[in-house]
Amino acid sequence: MNVAKMIDHSLLRPELTIEDIRRGCDIAVRRDVASVCVRPSDVEFAAAALAGTGVLVGTVAGFPHGDTRTAVKVAEARALVEAGADEIDMVVHIGRLRGGDSDYVHDDIAAVVAAAQGRTVKAILENAYLSEEQTVMGCRLAERAGAHFVKTSTGFAPGGDATPAGIRLMRASVGPHLGVKAAGGVRTLDRLLSLHQAGANRFGATATEAILDAVAARQRGDAPAPTSGVTG
């Protein structure tokens, strides 16, 4: 498997400068990852920086709490598409999901999917706040609403690190055509591989270079081999 092409290089921290975003895009191109995931205000810059490279421009909507009105998420998604976004990671309304308001959660996701105009939409459930039953319901609602991925976390919730058990639950809760993205705590190659074995096929990471350096070290025989073959 090509590890690089499963990584969304995350550039979402609020303190990042535009120079930080530039460097992050340079890393993404040099390491040929799947995408960068930038803040909404950085989409236009990233789209210009990544044009013609094969690295996608990802961003977020309703981030990080998911509690903005659906109309705001829709307006945000439309503006992000216009600015050049290829993928949108949207946060579901966590409180409505916890409260069992399935119609609201479904319609909120579906509205963003429609506004994304065919771009990939990943529904962030924020598993740290959910019971197993709520996670399953969130996954099923996201699939029914037309999302392309379900995602574990924004990476900002306390205790929001992705776990193999959480990934297995999400993978079992959606059909094989839906992707599962692990985010939060994906800082090492071993961690990424354990989550991949559990069923994740996309990863949000800030430690992209360290992970891919570890892939290269294993290919050279400088580090213990993983249980399955990997490529950069």
State residue 222's pLDDT score: 77
DSSP 40: G
44 lies in some domain: no
78 lies in some domain: yes
166 lies in some domain: yes
- pTM, entire model: 0.94
Q: Which residues are catalytic?
A: 89, 151, 181
The answer to whether 171 and 195 have CB atoms below 8 angstroms apart is no
State residue 14's pLDDT score: 97
93 lies in some domain: yes
Domains held by the chain: number: 1
What is the chain's pLDDT, residue by residue, as a tens digit (232 residues)? 899 999 999 999 999 999 999 999 999 999 999 999 999 999 999 999 999 999 999 999 999 999 999 999 999 999 999 999 999 999 999 999 999 999 999 999 999 999 999 999 999 999 999 999 999 999 999 999 999 999 999 999 998 999 999 999 999 999 999 999 999 999 999 999 999 999 999 999 999 999 999 999 999 887 665 545 566 5
Quote the domain boundaries for residue 123.
58-220
State residue 221's pLDDT score: 86
154 lies in some domain: yes
Q: How far apart are the first and last CA of the chain?
A: 8
Spatial distance between the Cα atoms of 26 and 118, rounded to a whole number of angstroms: 27
1 lies in some domain: no
Residue-wise pLDDT for 90-147, tens only, equals 999 999 999 999 999 999 999 999 999 999 999 999 999 999 999 999 999 999 999 9
Nearest by Cα to 173 from 143, 147, 201: 143
State residue 26's pLDDT score: 98
For every residue of 119-184, DSSP letters joined together read SEEEEE--GGG--HHHHHHHHHHHHHHT-SEEES--S-STT----HHHHHHHHHHS-TTSEEEEES
Spatial distance between the Cα atoms of 177 and 135, rounded to a whole number of angstroms: 18
| Cα-to-chain-centroid distance, residue 55 | 15
CATH of the domain at 152: 3.20.20.70
Nearest by Cα to 148 from 118, 184, 190: 118
16 lies in some domain: no
State residue 119's pLDDT score: 98
Type and span of the H or E element at 8: strand 7-11
169 lies in some domain: yes
Nearest by Cα to 88 from 208, 181, 20, 2: 181
